[in-house]
Amino acid sequence: MNILLHFLYIVLYFSRNGFFMEDAEKILTEIARQWELDIIWKRIGSGRIECGLSAAHTWHCCEFCQKVKNNPRYLKQCSHNDTTLLTALAKEKKKPFIHRCHAGVCEYVLPVFYDGDELEVILLGVFRQQEQHTASYPELQEDFEKLPFRDENDFRTAEPLLSPLMKVLRERREYLKIKALASEIKDPRIQETILYLEKNFARKISIPHLAGLSFLSISRFQHIFKTETGMSLFDYLNRLRLENAAEMLRTTELPLNVISERCGISDQSRLGVLFKKQYNCTPLAYRKQFRNI
């Protein structure tokens, strides 16, 4: 399993083309095959409950769950489970746990927090535990009995494998969002600015200089940039810099002061502050996760 995931991670690191989400689907499908359980990756607790993947990796689609969701009353309970109950449990526990849903089946929950309350989860399921012999809904007993048995020991290797994978998946998804955003920008002056930032993110960047290149006043330039991209110039620039810092942490042994310099971040202390805000861990903790794969 470790060898398989290590290979898949390497493929993912260097996948920067338009087929990335398909690559992510293949990786999750292979993990599901290895564990013989569905694997789901989604955002919860923010009014959004998806991460840009197909239904197979956003919702439990096994026969048992499909039959549960065919009942409107049960489907409402499923929605409450994802949007309210699971979110509250993840925020309370802040570590992996096994959750039993309203239908009486279990899923392994691996929560990861970003920027405070933003929460994404990896879910492995659904399954029964040894003490479970009856379904919550008697009419589904036959399908319930077809589900595999799992216990907590079966998932001891899951967290150190899946947590780094989730971070890479999320990075690549956000990277593609930035690339897609750049391709959708209509104002040619902001298009040129984006190209300039991608080539020069490691240099000292000033708004007056960029505004001058665009033949705009500073205030007008800032307004148009935010209108076109949905974020301030320095938020956009920091995302580019941190994406490159994360890649160097994963793939090199460069010290933090060199990484911060190559990314255009003033010093390693500042890198640490920005990195923790974006990835919810320090640069060294992030690097250590990938050294343990």
Residue 59's pLDDT is what?
81
What is the structure's pLDDT at 205?
A: 92
Length in residues, the chain: 293
Burial 281-293 (b: 16+ CB within 10 A, else e): bebeebbebbeee
Tokens of 243: 């994406």
Residue matched to tokens 């042994």: 253
Is the entire prediction scored with pTM above 0.85? no
How high is the mean pLDDT in each 10-residue block of the chain (293 residues)? 50 48 76 85 65 76 89 85 84 89 92 70 90 89 92 82 74 68 80 87 92 94 92 90 84 87 90 88 82 54
| pLDDT tens by residue, 223-234 | 999 998 888 999
pLDDT of residue 9: 54
Which residues make Cβ contacts (< 8 Å) with residue 211, sequence separation at least 6?
Answer: 217, 218, 220, 221, 222
Domains of the chain, earliest start first: 2-167 (3.30.450), 173-291 (1.10.10.60)
Q: Distance (Å, rounded) from C-alpha 179 to C-alpha 184?
A: 9
